[in-house]
Amino acid sequence: MGSFDLLLFHSVGDKMLQQAIDFKEESDALFNLLKDQERETFQKKTQFKDWTIDNVLHHLHVWNVAADMSLVSDEKIMKFLEDFFNAVNKGYNPRQYEKELSNDKTGKNLLYHWKESYEKMTENFKNSDPKKRVKWAGPDMSVISSITARLMETWSHGQEVYDMIGVKRVDTDRIKNVVIIGINTFGWTFINRSQDVPGEVPNIILKSPSGEIWEWNPENKENKILGDATDFCQVVTQVRNIDDTNLIVEGEVAQIWMSIAQCFAGQPENPPLKGTRFTHNG
């Protein structure tokens, strides 16, 4: 559940928000991975906190619906958030609550329920003003930040699904959305841990899935991160330990950041231990 405003790196036309299209494509990729799976696969535990695939889909569905709600009614989204967090604070299991909010659907029924909602959501976001402010858990954010955060959540939670099923994901350049969130939350990583924010964001040079080179902060000569964009995204979303990637990290600030990077909102979370998140063999 991210709440961070983003740089508008895509060209946004008068009637179409590219990030919404990217969100749908990322969701479609996960749907296509799951649509031919056996019923029991949806109940298997992943490497992420023992969540099942059903848990993942409940989570994605509920917070997609919440983001869609934020487009149309400040009152409804604030009431939803209040009810959800009050229930959790009283000891209600959030996974069970998300299941109930998904009409108790499981397996293929849940999969198609999630698909129907993300397709509807895409149309609503695609035609919205990207600068409009919407309510969320934490600070208000822009429409473009909201839908990009949903893409990031879909991509990051999708990883545990790919890992469990044993399929190596083939990324596209739409993960630049996730890279941008990762860079923009450099300061948040430290603030969230009550640490002083270093003065400069490291120089970041990444190879995109298409082979293009993306670079940020070339003026920082002392701290540098080089490698594949996918590896960078895996670290900032905490789906891989830095030591399980091929990123080259130079400088003290860059090394500290990559050891604790967190691009999502919420309490500080530690990255997975080395070797605990990986793609199963077939």
Mark 247-272 as b/e (b = at least 16 C-beta within 10 Å). bebebebbebbbebbbbbbeeeeebb
Please return the burial class of 216, using the count of CB atoms within 10 Å of its CB with bins 0-12, 13-18 and 19+: middle
Mean pLDDT of 93-104: 96
Of 26, 281, 50, 36, which Cα lies nearest the Cα of 167? 281
The pLDDT value given to residue 200: 93
The pLDDT value given to residue 131: 95
The pLDDT value given to residue 16: 80
What gap in Å lies between CA 281 and CA 135, rounded to an integer? 42
Residue 5 — pLDDT band, cuts 50, 70, 90? very low
The pLDDT value given to residue 117: 97
- pLDDT, one tens digit per residue, over 33-58 is 999 999 999 999 999 999 999 999 99
Q: Are 106 and 42 in contact (CB under 8 A)?
A: yes
Mark 67-82 as b/e (b = at least 16 C-beta within 10 Å). bbbbbeeeeebeebbe
Q: Who has greater pLDDT, 16 or 106?
A: 106
- pLDDT, one tens digit per residue, over 54-78 is 999 999 999 999 999 999 999 999 9
- pLDDT, one tens digit per residue, over 8-38 is 444 344 468 999 999 999 999 999 999 999 9
Which CATH superfamily, name and number, covers 18-167? dinb family like domain (1.20.120.450)
The pLDDT value given to residue 138: 79
Mean pLDDT of 106-119: 98
Q: Please report, for the chain, the start and end positions of each structural domain, with discontinuous segments joined by +.
A: 18-167, 177-260
The pLDDT value given to residue 8: 42
Mean pLDDT of 81-109: 96
Tokens of 276: 């605990």
Helix axes 18-34, 143-165, angle to 10 degrees: 20
141: β partners: 134
Q: Are 155 and 10 in contact (CB under 8 A)?
A: no
Mean pLDDT of 70-94: 95
The pLDDT value given to residue 10: 43
